[in-house]
Amino acid sequence: MFELSNNNAPLRLMIYDRTCRAKTFFPGLSFIWKAGAWLYRSLGGIDYYFGASDWPEALDWLLAISHGRKIIQIQYWGHGEWGLAKINKEKMDISSLKTEHPLNSRLKKLRERVIPGKTLWWFRTCLTFGGEAGMKFSKGWAEFFNCKVAGHTYKIHFRQSGLYCLNPGQIPNWNTKEGFFWSKDGKMEGLESSICANHTILCLNNKFPENW
C-alpha cells in the first residue's frame, strides 16, 4: 500500500486488471499494465495505482484511497468490448448504473468524490467507445457521474486510436462505424490501432489532448 500524502489536492488514480497473466514464459498484460502504472507514478503523472481482481475490489479501493478527498482523474487499464470494460471477464457496462445492479451503490458513493464537469474518467481499454453500444455507454457514464469520460473505439496497444472525450450533456458525435468491421459470419471484429487512424496517441501519453 502507498502512504497517503497529507495535502488535499484532488487525486489522480489508476486501476488495472491484475488477473491477465500469461500461460507461457512471456509476461502477461497485467505485468505490462503494472509496469506502466509504476512508470506513470514515477514521472508524476498519477498519484496512486492498484491492481484489482474484480470490479467490487477496484471500486472499494477507489473509495478507500479517496476518503476525505476529491478525485480529478481515474484511469482504467484492462480489457474492453463495445460499451463495456472488464476485469477478469467481469463486465461493467451501462446496466451498472441502474439501482438494482450490484455495483450501483459503490458507483453512487464514488460519484460523490468527483469534481463535477472537471474530473476525467478514462477507459484505456479496447473498443469501449465503439459502435452504438459505446456511444450509449459514454453518454450514460458522463451523465451519471457529471464528469468527463474518455475512451477508445479501436483495439489498443502501444498505439491507442479512436480516443474521444464526452462532457456531461453532450451528444457523442464520432462515427458509429469507426474501429470495427463485420466478418463474413456476421460478427463485429475490432480493428487494430494505427498511426493513420483517428485520434491516435501512444501508451506513454498520460495527458488527454485538450483539443479532442
Residue extents of the structural domains in the chain: 11-202
Query: Helices H, strands E: what count in the chain?
Result: 4, 13
Mean pLDDT for the chain overall: 94
Per-residue pLDDT band at 25 (split at 50, 70, 90): low
Per-residue pLDDT band at 21 (split at 50, 70, 90): confident
Q: What pLDDT score was predicted for residue 202?
A: 95
Phi, psi dihedral angles at 136 (to 5 degrees) = -65, -40
What percentage of the chain reaches a pLDDT higher than 90?
88
Query: How far apart are alpha carbons 70 and 75 in whole angstroms?
Result: 15
Q: How many CB atoms lie under 10 A from the CB of residue 190?
A: 21
The residues, ordered by sequence, that sit 6+ positions from 197 with a Cβ below 8 Å of its Cβ are 154, 159, 161, 162, 179, 191
Q: What pLDDT score was predicted for residue 58?
A: 98
Question: Is 11-202 a CATH 3.40.50 domain?
Answer: yes
CA-based nearest residue to 58, from 10, 12, 17: 17
When pLDDT is averaged across residues 6-11 and rounded to a whole number, the result is 84
The cell numbers describing 206, all together, are 498520460
Q: What pLDDT score was predicted for residue 7?
A: 74
Question: Does residue 1 carry a pLDDT above 60?
Answer: no
pLDDT of 56-101, one tens digit each? 999 999 999 999 999 999 999 999 999 999 999 999 999 999 999 9
pLDDT of 128-168, one tens digit each? 999 999 999 999 999 999 999 999 999 999 999 999 999 99
The cell numbers describing 151, all together, are 475512451
- The model carries a pTM of 0.93
When pLDDT is averaged across residues 34-46 and rounded to a whole number, the result is 96
Per-residue pLDDT band at 6 (split at 50, 70, 90): low
Q: What pLDDT score was predicted for residue 195?
A: 95
Query: How far apart are alpha carbons 207 and 201 in whole angstroms?
Result: 10
